[in-house]
Amino acid sequence: MSSIFYVLSDSVGETAELLAKAALSQFSDQNMKIQRIPYVDDEATMVDAFNLAKENNGMIAFTLVKPEFRQKMKDLSNQFQVRAIDLLGPLLEELEDHLQKKPTLQPGLVHKLDEDYYKRVEAIEFAVKYDDGRDAKGILKADLVLIGVSRTSKTPLSQFLAHKRLKVANVPIVPEVDPPEELFQVPAEKCIGLRISSEKLNHIRTERLKALGLDGSANYARKERIQEEIDYFNKVVEEIGCDTIDVSNKAVEETANVILRKIKK
């Protein structure tokens, strides 16, 4: 004889359904079907579920975080003489006792955490795709645009902020290349210039060239060339009208925190 296993949840009900499937898989030759009833937030829906279970020789499992809802399910189980298993309540009670903390009792937090994870992954992929001015289209799609001369930590900063779920594009500023038009189309508050002293940049670039086995006196690290780039950067920043942050003596994390505080304001 077939019957239906009703799974009720105050969220989407995936947890309850997965547990029901896992349990049913241990019984061969059974033809019990699973029917999910999500977003249960009132007594009428619970009563309807028990009526259905009664009519279809079924049983119920539920994941409801509110204690009053769980108690109501137990009362209805006795009233309708239908089996109803609380999949979440006993675990919440044991955790509360062990942690000596009250649960938030907010439905759907698992899926909010999942959503948070996917937003972070999406932001990281965005940062990679629109790194170093590869595609100017990203400037208009970004939550934040970083601009600066070479070796001002634009890429690691973009990645760090991506882990905070911010979609960041970064654009190198080079005297010989006109900045993309899109850079002047985004609101100035969405753009941040990364400023650095010529002395610090000279040191960074010289060490970088040496690490690559190249001559540390190459044009890339010459003080005259660096000053030319900084002057051009200042001109672009003034035209955009965006804020700047001096990264000369800041770690990536410090700069990121300054940016996050600016965004909050």
| 150 annotated as belonging to a binding site for a ligand | yes
Contact 105, 131 (CB under 8 A): no
| 133 annotated as belonging to a binding site for a ligand | no
Token pair 């239906």 in the structure block, residue? 4
Closest CA to 239 of 181, 157, 196: 181
Task: Measure the CA–CA gap between 82 and 73, rounded to whole angstroms.
Answer: 10
| 195 annotated as belonging to a binding site for a ligand | no
| 152 annotated as belonging to a binding site for a ligand | yes
| 223 annotated as belonging to a binding site for a ligand | no
Per DSSP, helices labelled H in the chain are: 14-24, 43-55, 67-80, 89-99, 109-129, 137-141, 154-162, 198-211, 223-240, 252-264
| 119 annotated as belonging to a binding site for a ligand | no
| 148 annotated as belonging to a binding site for a ligand | yes
| 265 annotated as belonging to a binding site for a ligand | no
Q: Read off the DSSP letter of residue 161.
A: H
Annotated binding site: 148-155
Annotated binding site for ADP: 148-155
